Copies of this chain bind each other. A is one copy, B any other.
Amino acid sequence: MALIVQKFGGTSVGSIERIQKIAARCIDSQSKGNSLVVVVSAMAGETNRLIGLASELTDTPSPREMDVLVTTGEQVSIALLAIAIEAAGGRARSFIANQIGLRTDNLHGKARIQAIESDKMHEAIKEGEIVIVAGFQGVDEDGNITTLGRGGSDTSAVALAAALNADVCEIYTDVNGIYTTDPGMCPAARKIERIAFEEMLELASLGAKVLQVRSVEFAMKYNVPIHVRSSFSPESGSWVCAEEESMEEVVVRGVACDRNAAKITIQSVEDTPGIAAQIFEPLSEAGINVDVILQNVSFNDTTDLTFTVSSTDLALAENITRDVMAALGTTGITSDSAVAKVSVVGAGMRSHSGVAATAFRALAKAGINIQMISTSEIKISCVVHEDDAENAVRALHTEFGLDSEE
What residues make up the interface of A, taking CB atoms closer than 8 Å to B? Answer: 16, 19-20, 50, 53-54, 56-58, 61-62, 64-66, 68-69, 71-72, 75-76, 78-80, 82-84, 86-87, 92-94, 96, 98-99, 120, 143-145
A86 and B58 contacting across the interface, CB-CB below 8 Å: yes
A83 and B96 contacting across the interface, CB-CB below 8 Å: no
Contacts of A86 in B (CB 8 A): 58, 61-62, 65
Q: Can you pick out 29 interface pairs between chain A and chain B where the beta carbons lie within 8 Å of each other?
A: A16-B53, A16-B57, A53-B76, A53-B80, A54-B79, A57-B80, A57-B83, A58-B83, A58-B84, A58-B86, A58-B87, A61-B83, A61-B86, A61-B87, A62-B83, A65-B82, A65-B92, A66-B83, A68-B82, A68-B94, A69-B79, A71-B75, A72-B72, A72-B75, A72-B76, A72-B79, A75-B75, A96-B145, A120-B143
CA distance A94 to B62 in the complex (A): 11
How many Å from the CB of A131 to the closest CB on chain B? 13
- Given A16-B57, A58-B86, A96-B76 contact (CB < 8 Å): no
CA distance A6 to B129 in the complex (A): 41
One of B57, B82, B93, B145 near A20 (C-beta < 8 A): B57
B72 and A94 contacting across the interface, CB-CB below 8 Å: no
Q: How many copies does the complex hold?
A: 2
How many Å from the CB of A403 to the closest CB on chain B? 46
One of B65, B83, B143 near A94 (C-beta < 8 A): B65
How many Å from the CB of A134 to the closest CB on chain B? 9
How many Å from the CB of A53 to the closest CB on chain B? 6
Across the A-B interface, the 3 shortest Cβ-Cβ residue pairs: A69-B79, A58-B87, A72-B72
How many Å from the CB of A13 to the closest CB on chain B? 11
How many Å from the CB of A77 to the closest CB on chain B? 10
B57 and A19 contacting across the interface, CB-CB below 8 Å: yes
Contacts of A75 in B (CB 8 A): 68-69, 71-72, 75
- Given A65-B94, A98-B143, A57-B76 contact (CB < 8 Å): no
Residue of chain B at shortest CB distance from A145:
B96
How many Å from the CB of A120 to the closest CB on chain B? 8
> 17 extra interchain contacts, Cβ-Cβ under 8 A, other than A16-B57, A20-B57, A69-B80?
A16-B56, A57-B87, A58-B83, A58-B84, A61-B87, A62-B82, A65-B82, A66-B79, A68-B94, A68-B96, A69-B79, A69-B83, A72-B72, A72-B79, A96-B145, A99-B143, A99-B144
CA distance A92 to B54 in the complex (A): 15
CA distance A82 to B145 in the complex (A): 14
How many Å from the CB of A306 to the closest CB on chain B? 42
B65 and A79 contacting across the interface, CB-CB below 8 Å: yes
Residue of chain B at shortest CB distance from A58:
B87
How many Å from the CB of A101 to the closest CB on chain B? 9
Contacts of A82 in B (CB 8 A): 62, 65, 68
CA distance A78 to B56 in the complex (A): 15
Contacts of A144 in B (CB 8 A): 99
A54 and B80 contacting across the interface, CB-CB below 8 Å: yes
Residue of chain B at shortest CB distance from A67:
B79
